[in-house]
Amino acid sequence: MAVVRAPLRDTSVRHCLVAAGGTACVDVSMKPPTRDGGAVNVVTVDDQPHFHRAARAVIGATPGFETVGEASSGMEALALVDQVRPELVLLDVRMPGMDGIETTHRLKAAHPDVVVVLISIEDPANLPAAARTSGAEALVQKQDFKPSLLRRLWSACRAAE
């Protein structure tokens, strides 16, 4: 398994945090990444190797986050999450076979405490409605993925608990 880290784009939180429960804004500098102050373990799932490289770079550049695995399909993701128990899964919406929407349903059923963020090159507004009701905590564009967005997403998801 490889560790993945990826870059985010600094845009408004409102644009980046399109979640099923609405939009959340949180001051990320006031909270440690996890409850115990340790690193947030991240798994990335994408069928494109270049996104894995980019994600590795972003996660590596974000203090408090660590890539613990990569998967290239929904089925691989389910097995990997069972094995490494990450706190955060970055999951591509469109993949051959089991897409990110179905993978999210299955991940949340098996691991309800795992934070799932669906990622896509498409604008979240153009994704199927099922992406917004899949159980994922947020939908983000790959172009926006950078350390500041990663921290904001994590803080917003933790604040919603």
- CATH code for the domain in which residue 23 is found: 3.40.50.2300
Number of domains present in the structure of the chain: 1
Residue 6 lies in a domain: no
Work out the mean pLDDT of the chain and round it to a whole number.
78
128-134 contacts at long range (C-beta below 8 A, 24 or more positions apart): 128/101, 130/101, 131/93, 131/100, 131/101, 132/18, 132/20, 133/20, 134/100, 134/101, 134/104, 134/105, 134/108
> By the 8 A CB rule, do 96 and 72 touch?
no
Give the separation between CA 54 and CA 47, rounded to whole angstroms: 13
Could you read off the pLDDT of 97-148 as tens digits, one per residue? 999 999 999 999 999 999 999 999 988 888 888 888 899 999 999 999 999 9
In the prediction, which pLDDT does 156 show? 86
Residue 20 lies in a domain: yes
In the prediction, which pLDDT does 12 show? 25
